[in-house]
Amino acid sequence: MTGLIAASATAADKRVAFRAGLASGTIQRLPGAINPLTAKLIQEIGFEGVYVSGGAFSAGLGLPDIGLTTLTEVVSHSRQIACVTDLPVLIDADTGFGEPMSAARTVLAAEDAGIAGLHLEDQVNPKRCGHLDGKAIVPTDEMVRRLRAAVSARRDPNFVICARTDAAGISDTTASGKGGIDDAIERAKAYANAGADLIFTEALHTEAEFEKFRAAVDIPLLANMTEFGKSQLIPAKTLEDIGYNAVIYPVTTLRLAMGAIERGLREIHATGTQEGQLDQMQTRSRLYELLEYERYNEFDSGIFNFRIEESGS
């Protein structure tokens, strides 16, 4: 029955695995899971970890990514995802949901939810998507306070605290931060000194910028391969060759699913049937396979009465 209902790996195992992956020299690929079922697929296909995106979570609630979601909402959604996978789950904790003390509380809640790590960003509150113009960052020392609070709250030393800097995407001089890639690199060094285990280099543009960042700091780095944003979409192998340690595909599964849902709904609206789209769908048998329906019979033989051979799908 191990691995049914909930994952077989413990939170401690997953954090150890994430740290080992970050130190391995092999890039850790973390697609965003929009729900626990997607996390099961991510594991089955063979990725190294699962990401929980704040942007995809808020979009799923029908809201823009402007800091409207709360610590409780994000952690409970992430707990459900972490619960069903043996893979480490990294979550998007935005700016920590408040002042430094709230960042500390966020870490405690994430640890209790079985999550392997989280990232905190240096944007002002309320934050916005890192690939939009007009965002603003807090002074370095304020972000350092956020991080110190998070690091000191941690009870499991293997829980990964990732610091995201949005500085590279800020071109105009703001009251709060210089911005630009050089500022981002300086900030990454300060964040590493404050105890961050991993740096999320948000909104770099080109391969050359990723290379420049890698050459300047000696702490694990995470790349964000989000679509339709400011960053060139660089293959995982190239990022690995550059020396990056992790890559997220944060909103990709939401965009894939929503693209398919919109096409399908329009066709049903236009033709009155979904008949022509059956080959685009995950079949009942594939869904049941992913859910491991059959294994549930191990402890209750009355549950599984679906026959793949007879159903034809």
| 8 Å CB contact between 185 and 179 | no
Kindly state the smallest distance separating residue 272's Cβ from ligand MIC, in Å.
Answer: 35
The count of chain residues that interact with ligand MIC, using the rule CB under 6 A, is 15
Active-site residue, from 65, 122, 166, 240: 65
Among 28, 165, 226, 245, binds ligand MIC (CB under 6 A): 226
Which is closer to ligand MIC, CB of 65 or CB of 122? 65
Is residue 224 part of the contact set for ligand MIC (CB under 6 A)?
yes
129 is catalytic: yes
Among 34, 110, 129, 198, binds ligand MIC (CB under 6 A): 129
Is residue 92 part of the contact set for Mg ion (CB under 5 A)?
yes
Q: Which of residues 45-84 bind Mg ion (CB under 5 A)?
A: 54-55
250 binds, among ligand MIC, Mg ion, none (CB under 5 to 8 A by kind): ligand MIC
Which is closer to ligand MIC, CB of 9 or CB of 29? 29
Q: Which of residues 8-47 bind ligand MIC (CB under 6 A)?
A: none
Kindly state the smallest distance separating residue 78's Cβ from ligand MIC, in Å.
Answer: 12
Q: Which of residues 184-203 bind ligand MIC (CB under 6 A)?
A: 202
Q: Is the preceding peptide bond at 126 cis, omega within 30 degrees of 0?
A: yes
Kindly state the smallest distance separating residue 265's Cβ from Mg ion, in Å.
Answer: 27
Residues forming the site for ligand MIC (CB under 6 A): 53-56, 65, 92, 129-131, 202, 224, 226, 229, 250-251
Residues forming the site for Mg ion (CB under 5 A): 54-55, 92
